Amino acid sequence: MWAAAPLFLLLLLLLARLRRSGAVPLEPAGRAVLITGCDSGFGHLLALRLHRLGFTVFAGCLCPGGEGARRLQREAGAGRLRVLRLDVTRAGDVLAAKELVLSHLPERGFWGLVNNAGISTFGETGWLSMEKYEKFADVNLLGSIRTTLAFLPLLRKYKGRIVFMSSIIAYFSLGNGIYSMTKAAIERFCDALRLEMKKFGVRVCIIQPGNYARSTKIQPPISAEEIWNELSEEEKAVYNKEYVQERANFFNSILSEGSANGNEVVDAMVDALTSPAPKARYMVAKLKEKALVFVCALFPTVVMDYFMSYALSKVKLA
Catalytic residue ranges: 179
Q: Which helix (H) or strand (E) holds 244?
A: helix 241-256
How far does Cα 314 stand from its chain's mean position?
31
What CA dihedral angle connects 275, 277, 281 and 282, to 10 degrees?
-30
Strand partners, 209: 284
Euclidean distance between CA atoms 177 and 292, whole angstroms: 16
Reference 161, options 72, 292, 28; nearest CA is 28
CB atoms within 10 A of CB 258: 18
Helix, strand, or coil here: 83? strand
d(CA 69, CA 58): 12
